[in-house]
């Protein structure tokens, strides 16, 4: 997006920087630029080396190799004696802090493009306890009364992808045990299947707004400490009220999203509107910020106004 600048209120202006890298406030000839904090780069290459090389062996036929050679490569991988250490990451933070967005960004960083074909999300809080086992790990038809069909489960159905387990803090203890085994071996055995488990590597990203560290330390069974320890990194995502220094950048970023500012109709933001946005606590975090901005943008567009003003935000 090219730099946009519109002057108003006695030569005051706000310009949204290209790619949401900066938000510039101009007054007269003096510019004050708020630059975002340098972010740590996600180790995409490390994840690629751990996962994609193995997946390529099992999907060799997709790269023009004949079926026999592909089967031999898959067999070699399955018979490897060394444990498979799966890439794994756990995001911990309040609702609305952007954990799902970060998981999708990981998929884009690893696979390029929008990453949607290589990304699969499952919300643990939305799965009934009676269905979670088959939905996650698969089940053979007839294993129990309701198992009317063979179900592969999300792990076997999505090898090599970024698998996002949202709300993992709501996972039942018995399912935590099976996930722990998968993270140790990278293999899944569907319920009712008597054969050897299937190798199905993926990039495992999980998220929760529950205090899983405290639960694990308490040892009361709500969240297993050994499961928490299996994640290679546990990253806390801070709420917006702890990111005051980033708010101007985040507002700039949000106003460049088509879902909030369709067709980029809003090109500038009044200073009193900015002060108002900076004063809020946002208990709903990014969702609250995005809702407030989207509502204000609709009000401004209804007036035919390209400036988002305070009156548009406080209605």
Q: Tell me, letter by letter, the H, E, C secondary structure of the chain.
A: CCCEEEEECCCEEEEECHHHCEEEEEECCEEEEEECCCCCCCCHHHHHHHHHHHHHHHCHHHHCCCHHHHHHHHHHHHCCCCCCCCCEEEEEECCCCCHHHHHHHHHHHHHCCCCHHHEEEEEHHHCCCCCHHHHHHCECCCCCCCCCCCECHHHHHCCCCEEEEECHHHCCHHHHHHHHHHHHHCEECCECCCCCCEECCCEEEEEECCCHHHHHHHCCCCCCHHHHHHCCCEEEECCHHHCHHHHHHHHHHHHCCCCCCHHHCCCEECHHHHHHHHHCCCCCCHHHHHHHHHHHHHHHHHCCCCEECHHHHCC
Mean pLDDT, residues 238-255? 92
Q: Is residue 181 domain-shared with residue 232, that is, in the same domain?
A: yes
> For residue 67, what is the domain's CATH number?
3.40.50.300
- Residue 38 has φ and ψ, to the nearest 5°, of -65, 125
- In this predicted structure, what is the pLDDT of residue 29? 30
User: Into how many domains does the chain fold?
Assistant: 2
- The first and second tokens of residue 248, run together, are 């101007």
Domain boundary among 204, 237, 270: 237
The contacts of residue 246 (CB under 8 Å, 6+ apart) are 36, 37
Where a domain ends, among 192, 214, 237?
Answer: 237
Mean pLDDT of the chain: 76
What is the CATH classification number for the domain harbouring 10?
Answer: 1.10.8
Indicate whether 226 and 273 sit together in one domain. no
pLDDT value, residue 87: 85
Range of the domain at 265: 4-35+240-313
Using one digit for the tens of pLDDT, what is the confidence trace for 66-116? 555 655 554 554 455 445 567 899 999 999 999 998 999 999 988 888 878
Question: Do 200 and 135 belong together in one domain?
Answer: yes
82 in the same domain as 221: yes
Distance CA 309, CA 266 (A): 10
- For residue range 171-213, what is the model confidence (pLDDT) as tens digits? 988 889 989 989 988 888 877 777 788 888 889 999 999 999 9
pLDDT, mean of residues 223-229: 94
Beta bridge partners of 203: 162
**Residues 309 and 190 grouped into a single domain:** no
What pLDDT, on the 0 to 100 scale, is given for residue 127?
Answer: 83
Q: Last residue of a domain, which of 183, 217, 237?
A: 237
Region of 99 (left: φ > 0; alpha: ψ -120 to 50; beta: rest) is: alpha
220 & 257 share domain: no
pTM above the 0.85 mark? no
Query: Which of the pair, 189 or 43, is modelled with greater confidence?
Result: 189
């Amino acid at each position: 997006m090219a730099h946009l600048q519109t002057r108003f209120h006695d030569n005051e202006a706000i310009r949204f920087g290209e790619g949401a890298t900066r938000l510039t406030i101009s007054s007269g000839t003096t510019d004050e630029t708020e630059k975002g904090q340098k972010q740590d780069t996600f180790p995409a290459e490390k994840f690629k080396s751990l996962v994609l090389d193995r997946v390529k062996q099992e999907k060799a036929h997709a790269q023009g190799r004949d079926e026999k050679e592909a089967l031999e490569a898959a067999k070699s991988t399955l018979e490897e004696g060394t444990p498979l250490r799966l890439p794994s990451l756990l995001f911990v933070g309040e609702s609305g802090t952007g954990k799902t967005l970060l998981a999708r960004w990981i998929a884009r960083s690893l696979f390029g493009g929008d990453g949607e074909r290589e990304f699969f999300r499952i919300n643990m809080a939305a799965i009934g306890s009676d269905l979670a086992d088959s939905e996650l790990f698969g089940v053979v038809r007839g294993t129990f009364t309701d198992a009317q069909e063979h179900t592969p489960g999300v792990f076997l159905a999505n090898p090599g992808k970024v698998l996002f387990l949202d709300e993992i803090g709501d996972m039942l203890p018995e399912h935590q045990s099976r996930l722990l085994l998968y993270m140790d071996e990278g293999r899944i055995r569907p319920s009712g299947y008597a054969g050897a488990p299937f190798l199905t590597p993926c990039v495992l990203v999980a998220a929760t707004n529950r205090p899983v560290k405290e639960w694990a330390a308490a040892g009361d069974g709500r969240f297993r400490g050994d499961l928490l320890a299996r994640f290679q990194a546990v990253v806390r995502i801070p709420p917006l009220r702890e990111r005051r220094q980033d708010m101007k950048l985040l507002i700039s970023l949000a106003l460049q999203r088509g879902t909030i500012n369709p067709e980029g109709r809003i090109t500038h933001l009044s200073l009193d509107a900015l002060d108002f946005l900076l004063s809020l606590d946002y208990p709903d975090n990014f969702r609250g910020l995005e809702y407030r901005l989207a509502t204000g943008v609709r009000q401004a567009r209804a007036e035919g106004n390209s400036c988002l003003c305070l009156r548009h935000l406080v209605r």
